[in-house]
Amino acid sequence: MESPADIPFTKQMRIATRDIHNVSDALINAKIGFAMSSSRVWAEGLLVFYEVFHYLETALDRYSHTLMGEMDVAGMRRAQAFEQDLTYYLGPDWREGYTPRESVRQYLQHLEKVEAENPYLLLAYVYHLYMGLLSGGQILRRKKALLQKLKFSRKESVEGMAVTELDGSVVKLKREMTEAMNRIAETLDEDARERLLEESKMVFVLNNNMVHSIEGVGAVITLKIIKLGVCGALAVLLFTYIKKHWYG
C-alpha cells in the first residue's frame, strides 16, 4: 500500500476533494450546463468567476519571483478571455455600476485571508480552478457549438466562448500545471501541504456558493421543465386522439 509520501501531491489533492468535487460537478452540470442555451445565465456565470480568476492572476504577478511563478504556465491565463466574453454578452461598459455580489465578495475575502496567512495556499485555487476550466471548458465549448448547429448557425466560431479557446494543447497545459504543482509541493513542509489539502476542499465549497447565487438559473431550468411537461402532455393527448379515432 502506498504511503502518502509516495503519492503525487496532485493525486492527494484529488483524493482529498473527491466527495465535494462530485457534489460541485453535479451542481454545475445541473445548473450551468443545463442552462447553456440562456445567454443571461452564461454571462452571470462568467461574471462571478471572472473576479476569482482575475484575483489569482494578479497574485501570480505579485509572486512571480517565487516558486509560485512556476504555476504561471504559458497559455493558461483566462482573465482577458473572461473580459472579452463579458464584453460580448454585456457590452463594452459592463464594468460601469458593477458591484460583485455577496458570494463573490466572500470568496475574495477568503482569498485575501489565505494570502495573508501563506501565499502558497492560493495554489490550491489556481490548480483546481484552471484544471477544471481546461477540462470542463472544452466540454462546454462542444455543447455550445452543438447548440449553434442545431439552431442552423453558419458561424464556424463559438461566439462568447473565448474563455474556452486555447491556442495550444489542453493536455500539454494540464501536464505542465500538474508537474509544477508537484514540484512546488515537494519544497513545502508538512503543515503547508496539509493546509493546501484543506484549502483544496474550500475551493469547491466557495465555488458551489457562487454557483447557487447565479440569478436566472432556476428560472431557466423551470422553463425547460415546463416545456418538457407541455411536450409530454401534447404527446399523451395526441396518442389518446389517435387511439380513439383510429382504433375505435
Binding-site positions for heme b: 14, 21, 127
CA nearest neighbour of 207 among 37, 73, 17, 43: 17
124 and 203 Cβ atoms separated by less than 8 Å: yes
The binding site comprises 14, 21, 127
Distance between CA atoms of residues 13 and 194, nearest Å: 10
Distance between CA atoms of residues 243 and 248, nearest Å: 7
Single-letter amino acid, residue 234: L
Single-letter amino acid, residue 76: M
Cell 447553456 sits at which residue? 36
Cell 379515432 sits at which residue? 245
DSSP for 28-55, written as a single string:
HIIIIITTTT-HHHHHHHHHHHHHHHHH
